[in-house]
Amino acid sequence: DTAVSQTPKYLVTQMGNDKSIKCEQNLGHDTMYWYKQDSKKFLKIMFSYNNKELIINETVPNRFSPKSPDKAHLNLHINSLELGDSAVYFCASSQDLGGPQETQYFGPGTRLLVL
């Protein structure tokens, strides 16, 4: 069974379009994250939700809007896509928020290419 899954795996779209990426975890974790990995492999956190509540919101354009319908899902909607949004987007989840046992588990990534 896949612990953290993302759909789609690949996404190619035109500038100006709106797209969504979905993430689901079956680990029973309370916290989920979205990361962006650029072409130089730099990995930066974008958002984090704990029990459907937003707890981390980095300096991300407001074209990006996360939505957590329940603890097991964290979706990312992107409006008016730009060339600079091309990257790999990773979803992750964890338990024991902030504690020593907390470990993040990552999804396989969604490769977004904006043309």
Partner 1 sequence: AQSVTQLGSHVSVSEGALVLLRCNYSSSVPPYLFWYVQYPNQGLQLLLKYTTGATLVKGINGFEAEFKKSETSFHLTKPSAHMSDAAEYFCAVRGSGTYKYIFGTGTRLKVLA
Site of interaction with partner 1 (CB under 8 A): 4, 31, 40-45, 48, 50, 55-56, 90, 92, 94, 97-98, 100-109
Minimum distance, C-beta of residue 102 to partner 1, in the bound complex (Å): 7
For partner 1, the closer of residues 75 and 93 by Cβ is 93
State how far the Cα of 29 lies from the Cα of 105, in Å rounded to an integer. 10
Residue 85 — φ and ψ, nearest 5°? Answer: -80, -10
Minimum distance, C-beta of residue 75 to partner 1, in the bound complex (Å): 17
Minimum distance, C-beta of residue 80 to partner 1, in the bound complex (Å): 27
Cβ-Cβ contacts under 8 Å for 73 (sequence gap 6 or more): 22, 23, 24, 32
For partner 1, the closer of residues 14 and 39 by Cβ is 39
Task: Please name the residue that has the structure tokens 């650029």.
Answer: 38
